[in-house]
């Protein structure tokens, strides 16, 4: 009989501990989403040197996830990959436009 109570207690404590961890992870996800939203809002207010992502051609107004400054001008990119591609050969991209 005592063994049942002990097992019930252990299962109850384990369940409560797991649900507390879930709440912590949900809070972390909400904080990360809020940071991402505020960062995107801040990027939308910037004045870019060109209206399109040099690498893929996507309009900067559709969304910017990364930026780079080259020769004193600010360029917006839809992804870190597009930024890296641009920075590998910036003069080539700029001369095409």
Length, in residues, of the chain: 97
Closest CA to 64 of 89, 29, 49, 95: 49
Roughly how many angstroms between the first and final C-alpha of the chain, as a whole number?
Answer: 81
| Token pair in block for residue 32 | 């990360």
Closest CA to 35 of 43, 47, 24: 43
Domains of the chain, residue spans = 1-45, 46-97
| Token pair in block for residue 53 | 């992502």
Predicted confidence at residue 32, as pLDDT, reads 52
Predicted TM-score (pTM) of this structure: 0.54
pLDDT digits (tens, 9 = 90+) for 27-71: 555 555 545 544 455 666 778 888 889 889 899 888 888 889 999
């Amino acid at each position: 009989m005592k063994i049942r109570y002990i097992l019930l207690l252990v299962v109850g404590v384990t369940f409560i501990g797991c649900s507390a961890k879930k709440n912590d992870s949900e809070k972390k996800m909400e904080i990360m989403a809020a940071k991402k939203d505020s960062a995107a809002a801040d990027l939308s207010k910037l004045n870019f040197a060109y209206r399109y992502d040099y690498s893929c051609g996507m309009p900067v107004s559709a969304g910017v996830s990364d930026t780079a400054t080259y020769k004193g001008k600010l360029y917006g990119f839809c992804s870190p990959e597009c930024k890296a591609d641009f920075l590998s050969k910036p003069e080539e991209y700029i001369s095409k436009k």
